[in-house]
Chain A
Amino acid sequence: MTGTHTFAAAPLGPDTDAPEFHAYGGDWSDIADEATRLGHQRIVVNMGPQHPSTHGVLRIMLEIDGETVTEARAGIGYLHTGIEKNMEYRTWTQGVTFATRMDYVAAMFNEAVYCLGVEKLLDIVDDVPERANVLRVMMQELTRIGSHLVAIGTGGNEMGATTVMTTAFLAREETFKIIEQVTGLRTNNAYIRPGGVAQDAPEDISEAVREMVGYVREKLDELAHLQLKNPIFIGRLKDVARLDLAGCMALGITGPMLRSAGLPQDLRKDQPYSGYETYDFQVPTAQGADAYDRVIVRMEECYESLKIIEQCADRLDQTAGQPVMVGDKKIAWPSQLSVGTDGQGNSLAHIADIMGTSMEALIHHFKIVTEGFPVPAGQAFATVENPKGVLGVHVVSDGGTKPWRAHFRDPGFNNLQALSMLCEGGQVADVVVAVASIDFVLGGVDR
Chain B
Amino acid sequence: MTESDIAPVPEGRESLTLINVREGMFSGSGDTSGFGGLTKTIAMPGPSAKPYGGWFDSVVEILQELLEDTADAAIEAVVVDRGELTLRVNRDHLVEVCRHLRNDQDLRFEICLGVSGVHYPADSGAELHAVYPLLSLTHNRQMRLEVACGDDDPHIPSVCSIYPANNWHEREAYDFFGIIFDGHPGLARIQMPDDWSGHPQRKDYPLGGIPVTYKGATIPSPDTRRQYR
Q: Which residue of B lies closest to A90 (CB)?
A: B222
Q: Which of A378, A405, A409, A417 contacts B82 (CB 8 A)?
A: A378
B interface, how many residues as a size bin?
A: 35 or more
Interface of chain B residues 178 through 229 with chain A (CB within 8 A):
189-193, 200-201, 207, 222-223, 227-229
Q: Which of B59-67, B129-137, B147-155 is near enough to bind chain A?
A: B129-137
Interface of chain B residues 28 through 67 with chain A (CB within 8 A):
40, 42-45
CB distance from A336 to the nearest CB of B (A): 22
Bound Cα distance A80, B192 (Å): 8
Mask: chain B, 106-123; 1 = CB below 8 Å from A; 0 = not: 000011111011110000
* B133 contacts across to A, CB distance below 8 A: 381, 392, 394, 409
Q: With A77-B193, A381-B144 given, is the CB distance from A371 to B8 under 8 Å?
A: no
Bound Cα distance A417, B114 (Å): 12
* A121 contacts across to B, CB distance below 8 A: 82
Is there an interface contact between B191 and A251, defined as CB atoms closer than 8 Å?
no
* A447 contacts across to B, CB distance below 8 A: 191
Main SS of chain B's interface residues? mixed
Bound Cα distance A121, B8 (Å): 14
* A362 contacts across to B, CB distance below 8 A: none
Is there an interface contact between A407 and B168, defined as CB atoms closer than 8 Å?
no
Q: Does A372 contact B (CB under 8 A)?
A: yes
Is there an interface contact between A377 and B165, defined as CB atoms closer than 8 Å?
no
Is there an interface contact between A417 and B165, defined as CB atoms closer than 8 Å?
yes
Is there an interface contact between B200 and A82, defined as CB atoms closer than 8 Å?
yes
Is there an interface contact between A251 and B20, defined as CB atoms closer than 8 Å?
no
Is there an interface contact between B45 and A77, defined as CB atoms closer than 8 Å?
no
* B110 contacts across to A, CB distance below 8 A: 249
Q: Does A446 contact B (CB under 8 A)?
A: yes
Q: Does A396 contact B (CB under 8 A)?
A: yes
Is there an interface contact between B6 and A404, defined as CB atoms closer than 8 Å?
no
Q: Does A427 contact B (CB under 8 A)?
A: no
Q: Does B69 contact A (CB under 8 A)?
A: no
Bound Cα distance A414, B20 (Å): 32
Q: Does A76 contact B (CB under 8 A)?
A: yes
Q: Which of A101-109, A182-190, A263-271, A297-305 is near enough to bind chain B?
A: A263-271
Q: Which of B42, B113, B163 contacts A383 (CB 8 A)?
A: B113
Q: Which residue of A lies closest to B137 (CB)?
A: A265
Q: Which of A76, A253, A377, A407 contacts B19 (CB 8 A)?
A: A377
Q: Does A85 contact B (CB under 8 A)?
A: yes
* A373 contacts across to B, CB distance below 8 A: 1
A-B contact pairs, 24 of them (CB 8 A): A77-B189, A85-B200, A85-B201, A86-B222, A89-B222, A90-B222, A120-B82, A120-B84, A121-B82, A252-B163, A252-B164, A331-B1, A378-B45, A390-B111, A390-B135, A396-B118, A398-B19, A399-B42, A400-B228, A400-B229, A404-B19, A405-B116, A414-B168, A446-B191
Please provide the 3 A-B residue pairs with the shortest distance between their CB atoms, ordered closest to farther: A252-B165, A407-B116, A394-B116
* Contacts from A to B (Cβ < 8 Å): 76-77, 80, 82, 84-86, 88-90, 120-121, 123, 249-254, 263, 265, 270-271, 328, 330-331, 370-381, 383, 390, 392, 394, 396, 398-402, 404-405, 407, 409, 413-414, 416-417, 446-447
- Extra contacts, 10 of them, besides A381-B142, A399-B40, A405-B119 (Cβ < 8 A), are A76-B190, A77-B189, A77-B193, A82-B200, A383-B113, A394-B116, A398-B19, A398-B42, A399-B8, A409-B114
* Contacts from B to A (Cβ < 8 Å): 1, 5-6, 8, 19-20, 40, 42-45, 81-84, 86, 110-114, 116-119, 131, 133, 135, 137, 140, 142, 144, 163-169, 172, 189-193, 200-201, 207, 222-223, 227-229
